[in-house]
Structure 1
């Protein structure tokens, strides 16, 4: 099935940036992260669990996140992820990089057509 314009893949690093920012707000389990990003984006972003959990595991290995056993709102065992100091530093770096990239894209798209 072909993707529509509304179903484009996220640019490289976008998932990490959103996860780190979301966990800066509060610790969450994976499904809560998916729902949070979906809700805050006004349903414009759909994060697939097949993308999220490998990214969480990579960020754990890199020391950007910690996790602990917890219980979901439905009473099920789950892993609760939280941002580490290294994760906060990465978030600040990535946010700065994103802001510069977005500014550049905006400039290119705002040029008048010949």
Structure 2
């Protein structure tokens, strides 16, 4: 269901939204998507995870999809990630431009610090 925003509605969320990684140390992200929309964790210059959508079940529920992505950070820095797909309908609040750029930090955007 995601986190509740200032409008008191649930919004698409990737939690946690910020991470600390180490240069040269492999990391594996496992993302469980509980809705039927495509998402991404796109951090230009670092990674681009395409998150599979869940599937609609005959009973009206959604079967979650699991996406696993392994990579090794090659350079230190602060990298902002965000979702490149228009999601969080019908209001798309989590996709609106935040203080740091596209999408709302803590919902469909965040930071990755590579040491």
Shorter-normalised TM range: under 0.3
Which structure shows the higher strand fraction?
2
TM, length-normalised to structure 2: 0.25
Which structure would you say has the larger RCO, counting Cα contacts within 8 Å and 6 or more residues apart?
A: 2
Structure showing greater radius of gyration is 1
Which structure shows the higher helix fraction?
1
TM, length-normalised to structure 1: 0.26
